[in-house]
Amino acid sequence: MIMIGTMTFSAECAMAVAENFGRIAPVPDFMKLIGPYVRSSIAGGISTISIYEFDDDKADAAIDYLKKRYAAFAEVKGVSSNIEEWLGVGVVLQLLDETHSVTAALDAVSFRM
């Protein structure tokens, strides 16, 4: 399973965000971090995206870790963040095969974030 974390902030917040990266706990051993990747634009400010990959049976521990990780950045005024749970295509295809209905497949999914 994966979760995708995003943040946006202004250039004025960048140093405080960078300092938080140095203080946050590293990802747990059961989790693989891809990123963070950064982009910026004059109109939109600075954005980051990170992908967190882990086994389904570690979802509760992963959610706890990610909430704490992003709470550290939320303390910086002007930072907004979001964490989303995403399903792999294989899981979605299996749900569609089992339910034979897009609506029923969506009802079967219970996102925690």
Domain count, the chain: 1
Specify if 106 maps to a domain. Answer: no
Q: Write the CB contacts of 86 (distance below 8 Å, at least 6 apart in sequence).
A: 1, 2, 3, 4
State the Cα torsion 20-24-26-32 to the nearest 10°.
-70
Domain CATH for 36: 3.30.70.1150
Q: What is the pTM of this model?
A: 0.83
Question: Does 93 fall in a domain?
Answer: no
Residues of the chain with pLDDT > 70: what percent? Answer: 95
State the residue range of the domain holding 39. 2-87
Q: For 73-94, what is each residue's pLDDT tens digit?
A: 998 999 999 999 888 888 788 8
**Residue 105: inside a domain, yes or no?**
no
In a domain, 96, yes or no: no
Please indicate, yes or no, if residue 19 is contained in any of the structural domains.
Answer: yes
Cα angle vertex 73, ends 13, 31, to 5°? 135
Mean pLDDT computed over every residue of the chain: 89
Q: What tens digit of pLDDT does each residue of 33-70 get?
A: 999 999 998 888 999 999 999 998 898 999 999 999 99
Q: Is residue 9 part of a domain?
A: yes
Whether residue 1 is predicted with pLDDT greater than 90 in this model: the reply is: no
Cα gap 3→100, rounded to integer Å? 26
Residue 104 lies in a domain: no
In a domain, residue 100? The reply is: no
